[in-house]
Structure 1
């Protein structure tokens, strides 16, 4: 038998009869006449090929088949009722779910330690996954519900997304303690003459900074190029290379790798870092709670949420 062969109202009637064992009581509860209940029960009997209930002292008595059917029908109806009537009020202490955030390797260093620490105290049942926002089609992943939030400079997320500005990412110069530049003014000439570690991170805010330097013809001695930031601390710690990196990343690397950071001798454009989510989870209480935690931990200013606009195609 297919589910399409059974009327949901008949299962509700069956559940009520299992509970009450009296046709008159069920008729009153379901706002039906007693003949109406009898007709509906007859229809369900034909569908299932079993009498289901027989007359007994003071009411009806379920058959063995009805007794076997009672628990799974009750569980199915309870599940459906819960899905159609979700509980309000998200309780992070009791929540058990996995949430996925799109971010860069910089984001993992800057955001994850504080975020995981906060969740361990306030939401011990919530686990986190991260995905590289440049290695997946983030727009599709978020629209399909596989990624809950994204953090970064993500101009590709247009129509259908909400965003909250967290901060403007500024850049500094980073090098080992004891470097020749540590006790002298960091002039543009000194910065250009030093040997540089450069991170080529296409599609990210840092990649745009590299493009800005090239467009303005800012020359420097590039000794080493790497495709990500994970090795920056280790390399700078043991060499005389210097690197131009986001200020928040530099602050995280300085202490464990014995590094010094200095203001750059030129004004690089700051990259606006946003928290983004798809419109489909705008009202999801768990997502809303996690958005609040991220904003509380990392936002520089009061919340200003706006919806991104779709790209206008030119005719």
Structure 2
């Protein structure tokens, strides 16, 4: 197949079908009639020699070949969109732009204080809002421009996305100052003999660590479970509980809550924290500015 045989609009419809899985929804999004979308799908099937999408009770499901095409087509359309919508410049000193960033509660604790300090100094009229990575369809929200950047361990952001490593961190044991484990190193047996608070943070990548800790024998004694990390400092400050947390979160909490942390005695995987953005906005000056600001502050 040669490029001159391909109508770019057909690829736009293909990409929409991947996202919506319904001809009627694609027609609504693109301001077309359903027959026009159906006709475009017929042309795509003929061009590629594949059914591409099969009607099921749950909508139009992509064939294996359509899944194979998805990443390349999404990336290509994103780059084209970025090129034709590129702005000549972005002036942070005068911009009143509002940015939305996807991150976890850990991200808010670790990133936001320094980010807001920098924005105050170099972009005083810029504002930031955050969304939970698990509270929205992050892939669609970033493609649509509702979320500008996302930070974290996000394996679901693949086709059509760029990413850049911010840092790799380990897990540590966190507890109040004066705790029985408040010493240079602790043994695995001491860790499992303690009482624990566990953070059940679905969809954030931390579940693997809980699986490892709770597959050992003996298992840790979990006295409290919470759905997020925000309250951990308050909880540890006034109890003898122990928490397993990422080291950079521990660094932020030891001062305000009078806590201590030590290296974890259990062998746990390190976690890579990346910065993600959609290919559509790869060359957008405002997006480039914010991601450069974040990377420069926290790389290393």
What per-residue deviation string (whole Å, max 9, x for no partner) do you get for residues 147-195 of structure 1? 0000000011110000001111211000000111114741100000000
Structure 2 residue aligned with 1:11: none
Structure 2 residue aligned with 1:269: 269
* Aligned 1:72-83 pairs, distance under 5 A: none
Shift of 1:208: 2.2
TM-score (norm 2): 0.69
Structure 2 residue aligned with 1:142: 142
SS in 1 for 2:256: coil
SS in 2 for 1:174: strand
Larger gyration radius, structure 1 or structure 2: 1
Structure 2 residue aligned with 1:153: 153
TM-score (norm 1): 0.66
Structure 1 residue aligned with 2:95: 95
Shift of 1:88: 2.2
What per-residue deviation string (whole Å, max 9, x for no partner) do you get for residues 28-55 of structure 1? xxxxxxxxxxxxxxxxxxxxxxxxxxxx
For the residues of structure 1 that align with 2:98 and 2:241, how far apart are their CA atoms? Answer: 40
Shift of 1:214: 3.5
Structure 2 residue aligned with 1:112: 112
Unaligned runs of 5+ in 2: 1-83
Contact 2:233/2:253 (CA < 8 Å) preserved in 1?
Answer: yes
What per-residue deviation string (whole Å, max 9, x for no partner) do you get for residues 85-120 of structure 1? 976232110111100000000000000000010000
Structure 2 residue aligned with 1:278: 278
Structure 2 residue aligned with 1:27: none
Shift of 1:200: 0.5
SS in 1 for 2:111: helix
Structure 2 residue aligned with 1:129: 129
For the residues of structure 2 that align with 1:139 and 1:208, how far apart are their CA atoms? Answer: 22
Aligned length: 217
Structure 1 residue aligned with 2:49: none
Contact 2:184/2:262 (CA < 8 Å) preserved in 1?
Answer: no
Structure 2 residue aligned with 1:203: 203
Unaligned runs of 5+ in 1: 1-83, 301-315
What per-residue deviation string (whole Å, max 9, x for no partner) do you get for residues 182-216 of structure 1? 14741100000000011011111222211233345
Structure 2 residue aligned with 1:258: 258
Shift of 1:267: 2.0
For the residues of structure 2 that align with 1:159 and 1:218, how far apart are their CA atoms? Answer: 41
> 1:133–1:86: structure 2 CA closer, same or farther, 3 Å change rule?
closer
Structure 2 residue aligned with 1:231: 231
Shift of 1:219: 1.3
For the residues of structure 2 that align with 1:285 and 1:275, how far apart are their CA atoms? Answer: 16
Runs of 4+ in structure 1 off by over 2 angstroms are 84-89, 211-218
> 1:95–1:184: structure 2 CA closer, same or farther, 3 Å change rule?
closer
Structure 1 residue aligned with 2:34: none
SS in 2 for 1:205: coil
What do you get for the CA RMSD once the two structures are aligned? 1.6
